Each structure stands twice: as structure tokens, then as C-alpha cells.
């Protein structure tokens, strides 16, 4: 993932493995994934994921959802107060970015371009 593809969450909190995993889970909060899928899709090695995974589960940030074959599936625990705050922060970052984009000179030119003459 290059700098242009980084989410606001990662840009603000840093391009660290745990942040990348949390960002992935926040952006895909309605789905569940195996640890292997989470590692691969978030761009973190499985061994690195293993170094902090237990802490995510113990703190209630991540919860197991079901078992598919031999794989345990996990998802973001939206009932957790910590996760609720993370989702709130992510939403505020997005809204702030949208507001900033709307105030740029390029956005003003775009608005002018589509103005309907009276």
C-alpha cells in the first residue's frame, strides 16, 4: 500500500501492523475473517499478527464469530466501548477530510463549473 492508498485512520495513527489490522477490521466491520485472511488482506504477515492478536481478543476489540471447517472466524466487536470510540474517530476523520476537500480551491472551481446560470 503506497501513501496515496493509506486510509485516514492509518495516516493519523501510523503505518504500524496493529493499526493496519484495526483499519482493515473497521473498514470491513460487517464481515468475518480467519486470522490468515485478516493478515493477508491488511498487509501484515501472519507471524506479526500473532504477536498482538491475543491482546485484541482479550481486550474485546475482536471477537470470534463462527467456525468454518477448521478455521475460526473473527470480526470487530462493535459492542465494545473501545471499538465504538474507534468507529467514532474513524467517522470524524472522514467527515473532517470531506469538509477540507470541499473547502479547497479546486472544489470551488468545480462548484463554479456546474453552477446553473440564472
Domain holding 41: CATH number?
1.10.10.10
pTM (two decimals): 0.79
Show the domain range for 90. 3-105
In a domain, 86, yes or no: yes
**pLDDT digit string (tens) for 13-54?**
999 999 999 999 999 999 999 999 999 999 999 999 999 999
In a domain, 52, yes or no: yes
In a domain, 22, yes or no: yes
In a domain, 116, yes or no: no
In a domain, 111, yes or no: no
Task: Supply the pLDDT for residue 114.
Answer: 54
In a domain, 31, yes or no: yes
The answer to whether residues 70 and 93 touch, using CB atoms and an 8 Å cutoff, is: no
Count CA within 13 A, CB hemisphere, residue 32: 14
In a domain, 14, yes or no: yes
* Beta-carbon contacts of residue 90 (< 8 Å; ≥ 6 apart): 8, 9, 26
Task: Supply the pLDDT for residue 1.
Answer: 47
Number of folded domains that form the chain: 1
**pLDDT digit string (tens) for 60-86?**
999 999 999 999 999 999 999 999 999
In a domain, 118, yes or no: no
Amino acid at each position: 500500500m503506497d501513501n496515496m492508498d493509506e486510509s485516514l485512520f492509518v495516516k493519523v495513527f501510523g503505518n504500524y501492523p496493529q493499526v493496519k489490522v484495526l483499519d482493515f477490521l473497521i473498514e470491513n466491520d460487517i464481515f468475518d475473517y480467519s486470522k490468515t485472511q485478516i493478515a493477508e488482506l491488511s498487509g501484515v504477515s501472519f507471524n506479526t499478527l500473532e504477536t498482538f492478536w491475543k491482546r485484541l481478543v482479550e481486550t474485546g476489540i475482536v471477537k470470534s464469530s463462527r467456525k468454518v471447517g477448521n478455521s475460526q472466524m473473527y470480526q470487530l466487536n462493535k459492542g465494545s466501548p473501545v471499538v465504538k470510540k474507534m468507529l467514532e474517530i474513524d467517522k470524524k476523520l472522514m467527515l473532517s477530510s470531506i469538509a477540507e476537500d470541499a473547502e479547497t480551491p479546486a472544489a470551488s472551481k468545480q462548484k463554479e463549473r456546474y453552477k446553473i446560470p440564472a
